[in-house]
Amino acid sequence: MDISKLDLNLLVTLDTLLAERNVSHAAKRLNLSQPAISTRLTRLRDLLGDPLLIPAQRGMIPTERALELQAPLHAALEGVRQVVTESSPFDPSTATATIAISASDYVQYSILMPFLNILRAEAPGITVAWRTIDMMALEKQMAAGEVSLALTTPQATPDTLRMRKIYREEYVAIVRKGHPALSSANSLDLETFCDLVHVIVSPDGGGFHGPTDDALSALGRTRNIALSAPGFLVVPEIIACSDMIALVPERVAKGRSHNLQMFPPPLPVTGFDMALVWHDRATSHPMHRWLRDRLATLVKQGR
């Protein structure tokens, strides 16, 4: 094969097609028309002497030869990208890019919302897509470049991805301002905690038992759960207009003292660590390094 006929655009197209396995998706990612992608694929097939991608019911299926090429080709192109980008300093004020960040609703509210304000001020050319985190798909999404950054717990992070712990989260108990059982209280006792009606968060949906119930059981106590919600973000609104109680991450309750009262839990409730997660390909990229460092600094400053 005459390698001089393989230009960089063809190799980038092949890398994208192998990641997307769909001509229209690859065209959108490369800002090209579908016919242009199809023409490049035809040239690649001729030059490499292999079909590379075979049409299927949904998208395309890579051949064995294509699968052999995928990892080394992507690594080689990442090397080229790093050489090019590292030759000049990164300037957030002039950078243009689109990034996708996966996180839970609570992290989107408490961390990503203030981070977005910083990006608008310091890096206005960077547009952001928030995605609800899907731990089952995260590794694949990052490998395909569909997600640039994620925030999740270290325990949930796949071993193949890079990780950096950025903060520790603790739980607080919340009730509405002026709650009849706690309006003049300075603390929350276990008896009152168990007597009140609770809202619980169950990410998988419909769960009415959690770690707090295990802790109560060890003390010979139970609680009355009236509502199971799918995420933390809606819980403060429910509590603010009811006489129920809930345990939520402290950052969810922050800034809501106008309509909520907050108390330390009356029993030991273990908090959790949160980490930034990314694919190895983004480790040395100047823009991605800046994004990770800026987000970590924001959290450290407590903003």
CATH class of 171-270: alpha beta
Q: Would the CATH topology of 3-85 be identical to that of 97-166+273-300?
A: no
CA gap 108, 102 in Å, rounded: 9
pLDDT at residue 189 in the model: 95
Q: What percent of the chain has pLDDT over 70?
A: 95
What percent of the chain lies above the pLDDT cut of 90?
68
Residue 86 has pLDDT above 80, yes or no: no
What residues have CB less than 8 Å from 256, skipping those under 6 apart? 174, 236, 240
Confidence (pLDDT) at 144: 82
The pLDDT value recorded for residue 225 is 95
Contact at 8 Å (CB) between 110 and 166?
A: no
Task: Report, as an integer, the average pLDDT of 182-189.
Answer: 87
Angle among Cα 206, 255, 274 to the nearest 5 degrees reads: 55
115-126 per-position pLDDT tens digit: 999 999 999 999
- Grouping H, G, I as helix, E, B as strand and the rest as coil, residue 234 is coil
Give first-to-last CA distance, the chain, whole Å. 57
- Are 227 and 238 within 8 A, CB to CB? yes
Residue type, 115: F
Supply 241's token pair: 């207009």
Cα–Cα distance between 69 and 49 in angstroms, integer?
13
CA distance 28 to 90: 26
User: Distance between CA 196 and CA 226 in Å, rounded?
Assistant: 10
| The predicted structure's pLDDT at residue 195 | 95
The highest-level CATH class for domain 97-166+273-300 is: alpha beta
Alpha carbons 184 and 211: distance in angstroms, whole number: 29
pLDDT tens, residue by residue, 157-179:
998 899 999 999 999 999 999 99
Q: Which CATH number fits domain 3-85: 1.10.150.20, 2.30.40.10, 1.10.10.10, 3.20.20.140?
A: 1.10.10.10
- Residue among 124, 134, 126 at smallest CA distance from 103: 134
Q: What is the mean pLDDT of the chain?
A: 90
C-alpha distances in angstroms, 11 versus 35, 98, 130, 202?
17, 22, 30, 45
Output the pLDDT for position 264: 95
Give the domain ranges of the chain: 3-85, 97-166+273-300, 171-270
Confidence of residue 56 (pLDDT cuts 50, 70, 90): confident
Q: Tell me the CB-side half-sphere exposure of residue 166, using CA atoms within 13 A.
A: 23
pLDDT at 8: 86
Q: What's the pTM?
A: 0.69
